[in-house]
Structure 1
Amino acid sequence: METAAGRPGVPDGFDRLWTPHRMAYIGGENKPPDAGAGEGCPFCRVPAGDDAEGLVVARGRSAYVVLNLYPYNTGHLLVCPHRHVADYTDLTEEETHEVAALTRTAMRVLRAVARPAGFNLGMNQGEVAGAGIAAHLHQHVVPRWLGDANFLPIVGRSRALPELLADTRERLAAAWPTEG
């Protein structure tokens, strides 16, 4: 009996999900070439532009909230200080408080808009710890639902996201509380 193993394009019993858009992440696109602030750092560049274009959900005095370009789940947010700083222990008191406050608000807004069952929160400090952009600190706020860790990431090395990033950003920004 002849098998299809090793013959491209021949069915072999596995369904495949092609995700060529992930090559930008795998190849390091948009990753700053060095640890310098400014144009080389996307977390420094994003807040200088338009909120919708940059996927900024909310802004504070010393930090802001933005959708992750390479989300684990729909609504995966990043809370970033405006200042280019790599280590959590180097944040000022104001930055520390605002990152925490924005993280709390992000969780509340995500609960109201998307009704997740839980969250993963975290900061990867350093490249060895998994930080894709280690030079600019960012807090991950990842909403989680029962069954969201299905076969796709494991077998298909893909994530199924039911909504475009721009649409998610619009819904979250509209639900974000305004001061005053």
Structure 2
Amino acid sequence: MTADCTDTPDSGRPLWAPWRIDYIRGDKVDGCFFCEKAARQNDVADHIIARGVHAYVLLNDYPYNSGHLMVAPYRHIGDLADLMAEERAEIMELLVQSERLLQRVMCPQGFNIGFNLGQPAGAGVADHVHGHVVPRWNGDTNFMPVLGNTRVVPESLDATTELLREAWETGRNET
């Protein structure tokens, strides 16, 4: 699936993101949701887009933008240096494939791609290393993050999961 990237998002539409408040106000839970989601094998419900041998791609349940993906190893590792070379290589490849997927399907004008290592750096789950692929559009920043500590996401996670899983499968051999 390839989107028509000639259109730009209309920034004048009202948007609603009720799931974000659960993260902002929510209690911290025991355990690791990366490990739990990887083990459950319920990929659609857990918003898992693709699985590799050592790592997998999933939607962030509390995204900064629509299509915000994460890549995490199956092993519970808190530091990049503790990953095996094969894990690091596959994580990098999945980050690249995720960027290509989002470019093809969502037509962003840019990306933030990287790792937040440690709580002071912004890691919500500091003890399970994971990378972020955040699609960005011109004008996607507004008053909500500053005043409301909320990022508005215009599409449900289930709809985005379905779209990206289908596009991942149909575009596996594309470069």
Under a length normalisation based on structure 1, what TM-score does the superposition of the two structures give?
Answer: 0.80
Provide structure 2 residue ranges, at least 5 long, that are not aligned to the other structure.
Answer: 1-14
Structure 1 residue 106 corresponds to structure 2 residue 125:
no
What amino acid is aligned across from residue 83 of structure 1 in structure 2?
R
Q: Which has the higher contact order (CA 8 A, sep 6+)?
A: 2
Q: Which residue of 2 aligns with 1:76?
A: 68
Task: Tell me if structure 2 keeps the 8 A contact 1:32–1:133.
Answer: no
Post-superposition shift, 1:147? 0.3
What amino acid is aligned across from residue 146 of structure 1 in structure 2?
N
Within a 5 Å distance, the mapping from 1:109-148 to structure 2 comes to 109-148=101-140
User: d(CA) in 2 for partners of 1:127 and 1:152?
Assistant: 23
3-state DSSP of counterpart to 1:54: coil
Q: How many residues align?
A: 156
Task: Tell me if structure 2 keeps the 8 A contact 1:73–1:143.
Answer: yes
Structure 1 residue runs of 4 or more that deviate by more than 3 Å after TM superposition: 17-23
Q: Which residue of 1 aligns with 2:4?
A: none
- Equivalent pairs: percent with the same residue? 50
What amino acid is aligned across from residue 26 of structure 1 in structure 2?
I
Q: Which residue of 2 aligns with 1:25?
A: 23
Q: 2:49 aligns with which of 44, 57, 69?
A: 57
Post-superposition shift, 1:20? 6.0
Q: 1:175 aligns with which of 154, 167, 173?
A: 167
Larger radius of gyration: 1
User: 1:62–1:18: structure 2 CA closer, same or farther, 3 Å change rule?
Assistant: closer
User: d(CA) in 1 for partners of 2:17 and 2:172?
Assistant: 37
User: d(CA) in 2 for partners of 1:156 and 1:117?
Assistant: 25
Q: Which residue of 2 aligns with 1:156?
A: 148
Post-superposition shift, 1:173? 0.8
User: d(CA) in 2 for partners of 1:140 and 1:48?
Assistant: 20
Q: 1:96 aligns with which of 88, 107, 112?
A: 88
C-alpha RMSD over aligned residues? 1.9
Under a length normalisation based on structure 2, what TM-score does the superposition of the two structures give?
Answer: 0.82
**What do residues 110-150 of structure 1 show as CA deviations (whole Å, max 9, x unaligned)?**
00100000100111111122111001011010000000012
Pick which of 144-153 and 102-111 moved more.
Answer: 144-153
